[in-house]
Structure 1
Protein backbone atom coordinates (compact mmCIF):
# COMPACT_ATOMS: atom_id res chain seq x y z
CA UNK A 1 0.00 0.00 0.00
CA UNK A 2 2.77 2.46 0.85
CA UNK A 3 4.44 1.61 -2.47
CA UNK A 4 1.20 2.57 -4.27
CA UNK A 5 1.06 5.84 -2.34
CA UNK A 6 4.66 6.59 -3.28
CA UNK A 7 3.95 6.01 -6.98
CA UNK A 8 0.83 8.19 -6.81
CA UNK A 9 2.80 10.96 -5.13
CA UNK A 10 5.55 10.83 -7.78
CA UNK A 11 3.01 10.84 -10.61
CA UNK A 12 0.93 13.67 -9.18
CA UNK A 13 3.78 15.89 -7.97
CA UNK A 14 4.90 16.76 -11.50
CA UNK A 15 1.36 17.74 -12.46
CA UNK A 16 0.57 19.63 -9.26
CA UNK A 17 3.74 21.76 -9.26
CA UNK A 18 2.47 23.49 -12.41
CA UNK A 19 -0.61 24.77 -10.57
CA UNK A 20 -0.86 28.10 -8.79
CA UNK A 21 -0.96 27.96 -4.96
CA UNK A 22 -4.66 28.89 -4.89
CA UNK A 23 -5.50 26.14 -7.38
CA UNK A 24 -3.34 23.69 -5.45
CA UNK A 25 -5.14 24.57 -2.20
CA UNK A 26 -8.50 24.10 -3.93
CA UNK A 27 -7.44 20.70 -5.28
CA UNK A 28 -6.09 19.51 -1.93
CA UNK A 29 -9.29 20.58 -0.20
CA UNK A 30 -11.42 18.78 -2.80
CA UNK A 31 -9.44 15.55 -2.32
CA UNK A 32 -9.66 15.85 1.48
CA UNK A 33 -13.44 16.43 1.32
CA UNK A 34 -13.87 13.33 -0.80
CA UNK A 35 -11.81 11.24 1.63
CA UNK A 36 -13.77 12.65 4.57
CA UNK A 37 -17.09 11.76 2.93
CA UNK A 38 -15.90 8.23 2.19
CA UNK A 39 -14.61 7.62 5.72
CA UNK A 40 -17.82 8.99 7.26
CA UNK A 41 -19.77 6.56 5.05
CA UNK A 42 -17.62 3.63 6.21
CA UNK A 43 -18.05 4.60 9.87
CA UNK A 44 -21.82 4.81 9.37
CA UNK A 45 -21.80 1.33 7.85
CA UNK A 46 -19.80 0.04 10.85
CA UNK A 47 -17.01 -1.19 8.56
CA UNK A 48 -13.24 -0.84 8.90
CA UNK A 49 -11.30 0.59 5.93
CA UNK A 50 -10.17 -2.92 4.98
CA UNK A 51 -13.81 -4.04 4.66
CA UNK A 52 -14.17 -6.06 7.85
CA UNK A 53 -17.16 -5.27 10.08
CA UNK A 54 -16.58 -3.80 13.52
CA UNK A 55 -16.72 -6.22 16.45
CA UNK A 56 -20.16 -6.13 18.06
CA UNK A 57 -20.75 -4.10 21.17
CA UNK A 58 -20.70 -5.77 24.53
CA UNK A 59 -24.25 -6.80 25.51
CA UNK A 60 -25.67 -4.62 28.23
CA UNK A 61 -27.69 -6.17 30.97
CA UNK A 62 -31.25 -5.01 31.00
CA UNK A 63 -31.60 -2.60 33.89
CA UNK A 64 -35.32 -3.00 34.36
CA UNK A 65 -37.64 -5.34 32.60
CA UNK A 66 -41.16 -4.08 33.07
CA UNK A 67 -43.89 -5.54 30.95
CA UNK A 68 -45.37 -3.23 28.34
CA UNK A 69 -42.23 -1.08 28.18
CA UNK A 70 -40.86 -0.11 24.78
CA UNK A 71 -37.29 -1.29 24.29
CA UNK A 72 -34.75 1.15 22.95
CA UNK A 73 -33.21 0.32 19.63
CA UNK A 74 -29.47 0.01 19.51
CA UNK A 75 -27.86 3.12 18.12
CA UNK A 76 -25.00 2.79 15.67
CA UNK A 77 -21.53 3.18 17.12
CA UNK A 78 -19.72 6.46 16.50
CA UNK A 79 -22.88 8.27 15.35
CA UNK A 80 -21.62 11.65 16.52
CA UNK A 81 -17.97 10.93 15.85
CA UNK A 82 -18.49 10.82 12.08
CA UNK A 83 -20.10 14.28 11.91
CA UNK A 84 -18.20 17.30 10.59
CA UNK A 85 -17.88 18.60 14.15
CA UNK A 86 -15.49 15.79 15.05
CA UNK A 87 -14.24 14.28 11.79
CA UNK A 88 -12.41 17.25 10.30
CA UNK A 89 -10.07 18.40 7.57
CA UNK A 90 -6.90 20.40 8.05
CA UNK A 91 -5.53 21.55 4.70
CA UNK A 92 -3.12 24.01 3.12
CA UNK A 93 -1.56 24.26 -0.34
CA UNK A 94 0.86 21.37 0.27
CA UNK A 95 -1.01 18.80 2.34
CA UNK A 96 -4.31 17.77 3.84
CA UNK A 97 -5.19 15.74 6.91
CA UNK A 98 -8.50 14.02 7.55
CA UNK A 99 -8.95 12.95 11.13
CA UNK A 100 -10.03 13.64 14.64
CA UNK A 101 -8.47 16.65 16.34
CA UNK A 102 -8.60 17.96 19.88
CA UNK A 103 -10.18 16.14 22.81
CA UNK A 104 -12.12 13.70 20.66
CA UNK A 105 -8.86 12.44 19.11
CA UNK A 106 -8.06 10.53 22.31
CA UNK A 107 -11.41 8.72 22.24
CA UNK A 108 -11.01 7.91 18.55
CA UNK A 109 -7.48 6.62 19.15
CA UNK A 110 -8.64 4.32 21.95
CA UNK A 111 -11.25 2.74 19.68
CA UNK A 112 -9.04 2.74 16.57
CA UNK A 113 -6.15 0.95 18.27
CA UNK A 114 -8.16 -1.11 20.75
CA UNK A 115 -6.70 0.35 23.94
CA UNK A 116 -7.93 0.22 27.52
CA UNK A 117 -9.72 3.28 28.90
CA UNK A 118 -12.18 4.26 31.60
CA UNK A 119 -15.83 3.88 30.63
CA UNK A 120 -16.75 7.05 32.52
CA UNK A 121 -14.88 9.51 34.68
CA UNK A 122 -14.97 7.37 37.81
CA UNK A 123 -16.00 4.16 36.12
CA UNK A 124 -14.23 0.87 35.50
CA UNK A 125 -11.48 0.38 32.93
CA UNK A 126 -12.48 -1.55 29.82
CA UNK A 127 -10.28 -2.84 27.00
CA UNK A 128 -12.06 -1.84 23.82
CA UNK A 129 -11.74 -4.07 20.75
CA UNK A 130 -9.91 -2.49 17.83
CA UNK A 131 -12.34 -0.75 15.49
CA UNK A 132 -10.25 1.04 12.85
CA UNK A 133 -11.93 4.33 11.97
CA UNK A 134 -9.56 5.75 9.39
CA UNK A 135 -7.24 4.21 6.85
CA UNK A 136 -6.20 4.38 3.23
CA UNK A 137 -7.67 1.86 0.80
CA UNK A 138 -6.91 1.02 -2.82
CA UNK A 139 -10.27 2.59 -3.79
CA UNK A 140 -9.08 5.83 -2.22
CA UNK A 141 -6.02 5.81 -4.49
CA UNK A 142 -8.27 5.41 -7.52
CA UNK A 143 -10.59 8.20 -6.35
CA UNK A 144 -7.69 10.58 -5.71
CA UNK A 145 -6.23 9.83 -9.14
CA UNK A 146 -9.61 10.49 -10.81
CA UNK A 147 -10.08 13.74 -8.88
CA UNK A 148 -6.65 14.94 -9.96
CA UNK A 149 -7.35 14.15 -13.59
CA UNK A 150 -10.78 15.82 -13.50
CA UNK A 151 -9.35 18.92 -11.86
CA UNK A 152 -6.49 19.19 -14.35
CA UNK A 153 -8.81 18.78 -17.35
CA UNK A 154 -10.86 21.84 -16.35
Structure 2
Protein backbone atom coordinates (compact mmCIF):
# COMPACT_ATOMS: atom_id res chain seq x y z
CA UNK A 1 0.00 0.00 0.00
CA UNK A 2 2.82 2.41 0.85
CA UNK A 3 4.51 1.67 -2.48
CA UNK A 4 1.30 2.46 -4.38
CA UNK A 5 0.91 5.72 -2.48
CA UNK A 6 4.54 6.66 -3.13
CA UNK A 7 4.15 5.93 -6.86
CA UNK A 8 0.98 8.06 -6.98
CA UNK A 9 2.75 10.88 -5.17
CA UNK A 10 5.70 10.80 -7.58
CA UNK A 11 3.43 10.70 -10.63
CA UNK A 12 1.17 13.52 -9.48
CA UNK A 13 3.86 15.71 -7.91
CA UNK A 14 5.32 16.97 -11.17
CA UNK A 15 1.87 17.68 -12.60
CA UNK A 16 0.64 19.51 -9.51
CA UNK A 17 3.71 21.75 -9.31
CA UNK A 18 2.60 23.35 -12.59
CA UNK A 19 -0.72 24.49 -11.07
CA UNK A 20 -1.30 27.76 -9.25
CA UNK A 21 -1.75 27.46 -5.45
CA UNK A 22 -5.46 28.37 -5.70
CA UNK A 23 -6.09 25.63 -8.27
CA UNK A 24 -4.16 23.10 -6.15
CA UNK A 25 -6.23 24.01 -3.08
CA UNK A 26 -9.49 23.60 -5.01
CA UNK A 27 -8.32 20.25 -6.34
CA UNK A 28 -7.34 19.12 -2.82
CA UNK A 29 -10.75 20.18 -1.51
CA UNK A 30 -12.60 18.13 -4.10
CA UNK A 31 -10.38 15.08 -3.52
CA UNK A 32 -10.81 15.43 0.26
CA UNK A 33 -14.61 15.54 -0.10
CA UNK A 34 -14.58 12.44 -2.31
CA UNK A 35 -12.25 10.60 0.08
CA UNK A 36 -14.44 11.48 3.08
CA UNK A 37 -17.48 10.15 1.24
CA UNK A 38 -15.59 6.95 0.42
CA UNK A 39 -14.44 6.53 4.04
CA UNK A 40 -17.99 7.12 5.31
CA UNK A 41 -19.40 4.45 3.01
CA UNK A 42 -16.72 1.96 4.07
CA UNK A 43 -17.31 2.66 7.79
CA UNK A 44 -21.07 2.22 7.32
CA UNK A 45 -20.40 -1.07 5.52
CA UNK A 46 -18.30 -2.19 8.55
CA UNK A 47 -15.21 -2.98 6.43
CA UNK A 48 -11.46 -2.51 6.94
CA UNK A 49 -9.52 -0.96 4.03
CA UNK A 50 -8.35 -4.43 2.97
CA UNK A 51 -11.99 -5.55 2.60
CA UNK A 52 -12.27 -7.74 5.71
CA UNK A 53 -15.21 -7.12 8.06
CA UNK A 54 -14.69 -5.42 11.42
CA UNK A 55 -14.23 -7.66 14.43
CA UNK A 56 -17.70 -8.09 15.96
CA UNK A 57 -18.70 -6.55 19.25
CA UNK A 58 -18.41 -8.67 22.35
CA UNK A 59 -21.66 -9.94 23.79
CA UNK A 60 -22.60 -8.22 27.03
CA UNK A 61 -22.50 -10.36 30.16
CA UNK A 62 -25.54 -8.77 31.73
CA UNK A 63 -27.72 -7.13 29.15
CA UNK A 64 -30.67 -5.19 30.48
CA UNK A 65 -33.52 -5.26 28.02
CA UNK A 66 -33.51 -2.20 25.82
CA UNK A 67 -30.34 -0.72 27.33
CA UNK A 68 -27.58 -2.24 25.24
CA UNK A 69 -28.38 -2.70 21.61
CA UNK A 70 -26.39 -4.90 19.30
CA UNK A 71 -26.34 -2.55 16.33
CA UNK A 72 -23.71 -1.49 13.85
CA UNK A 73 -20.65 0.20 15.27
CA UNK A 74 -19.53 3.75 14.45
CA UNK A 75 -22.84 4.90 12.94
CA UNK A 76 -22.41 8.41 14.30
CA UNK A 77 -18.64 8.54 13.78
CA UNK A 78 -19.15 8.44 10.04
CA UNK A 79 -21.17 11.66 10.06
CA UNK A 80 -19.58 14.73 8.47
CA UNK A 81 -19.62 16.64 11.78
CA UNK A 82 -17.15 14.12 13.24
CA UNK A 83 -15.15 13.25 10.11
CA UNK A 84 -13.60 16.52 8.92
CA UNK A 85 -11.58 17.38 5.84
CA UNK A 86 -8.80 19.89 5.61
CA UNK A 87 -7.23 21.05 2.35
CA UNK A 88 -4.41 23.44 1.53
CA UNK A 89 -2.35 24.04 -1.59
CA UNK A 90 0.22 21.58 -0.20
CA UNK A 91 -1.97 18.70 0.91
CA UNK A 92 -5.18 17.38 2.35
CA UNK A 93 -6.37 15.37 5.32
CA UNK A 94 -9.46 13.47 6.40
CA UNK A 95 -9.56 13.10 10.18
CA UNK A 96 -11.75 12.68 13.23
CA UNK A 97 -12.02 15.65 15.58
CA UNK A 98 -12.86 16.16 19.22
CA UNK A 99 -13.83 13.30 21.52
CA UNK A 100 -14.49 11.06 18.54
CA UNK A 101 -10.79 11.25 17.61
CA UNK A 102 -9.93 9.42 20.84
CA UNK A 103 -12.52 6.71 20.20
CA UNK A 104 -11.37 6.32 16.62
CA UNK A 105 -7.69 6.11 17.66
CA UNK A 106 -8.40 3.34 20.16
CA UNK A 107 -10.23 1.25 17.55
CA UNK A 108 -7.84 2.12 14.68
CA UNK A 109 -4.79 0.90 16.61
CA UNK A 110 -6.42 -1.75 18.81
CA UNK A 111 -5.49 -0.10 22.13
CA UNK A 112 -6.70 -0.55 25.71
CA UNK A 113 -9.33 1.85 27.05
CA UNK A 114 -12.27 2.06 29.43
CA UNK A 115 -15.74 1.79 27.97
CA UNK A 116 -17.28 3.80 30.80
CA UNK A 117 -15.77 6.26 33.23
CA UNK A 118 -14.27 4.38 36.18
CA UNK A 119 -14.83 1.02 34.50
CA UNK A 120 -12.27 -1.69 33.77
CA UNK A 121 -9.80 -1.35 30.91
CA UNK A 122 -10.71 -3.35 27.83
CA UNK A 123 -8.46 -4.46 24.99
CA UNK A 124 -10.23 -3.41 21.80
CA UNK A 125 -9.68 -5.37 18.58
CA UNK A 126 -8.17 -3.49 15.69
CA UNK A 127 -10.79 -1.93 13.40
CA UNK A 128 -9.26 0.37 10.80
CA UNK A 129 -11.63 3.28 10.41
CA UNK A 130 -9.44 5.35 8.11
CA UNK A 131 -7.25 4.00 5.34
CA UNK A 132 -6.81 4.01 1.60
CA UNK A 133 -8.19 1.23 -0.57
CA UNK A 134 -7.28 0.51 -4.19
CA UNK A 135 -10.55 2.21 -5.18
CA UNK A 136 -9.52 5.32 -3.25
CA UNK A 137 -6.23 5.49 -5.13
CA UNK A 138 -8.12 5.15 -8.42
CA UNK A 139 -10.48 7.91 -7.28
CA UNK A 140 -7.51 10.22 -6.59
CA UNK A 141 -5.98 9.45 -9.99
CA UNK A 142 -9.25 10.10 -11.83
CA UNK A 143 -9.83 13.39 -9.96
CA UNK A 144 -6.32 14.54 -10.86
CA UNK A 145 -6.77 13.61 -14.51
CA UNK A 146 -10.20 15.24 -14.70
CA UNK A 147 -8.87 18.44 -13.20
CA UNK A 148 -5.80 18.57 -15.44
CA UNK A 149 -7.68 17.89 -18.69
Q: Do the structures match in fold with TM over 0.5?
A: yes
- Please list, as runs of the form range in 1=range in 2, the aligned pairs for 1:1-154 lying within 5 A after superposition: 1-60=1-60, 61-64=62-65, 74-153=70-149
Report Cα offsets for 1:18-42 as digits up to 9, x if no partner. Answer: 1111111000111111111101101
State which structure, 1 or 2, has the greater radius of gyration over its C-alpha atoms. 1
Distance in 1 (alpha carbons) for counterparts of 2:144 and 2:47: 27
SS at match of 1:129: coil
Deviation at 1:78, TM superposition (A): 0.4
TM-score by length of 2: 0.91
Distance 1:58 1:111 in 2: 14
Structure 1: tracts of 5 or more residues without a match: 65-69
Classify the secondary structure of the residue corresponding to 1:98.
Answer: strand
TM-score by length of 1: 0.89
* Displacement of 1:73: 5.9
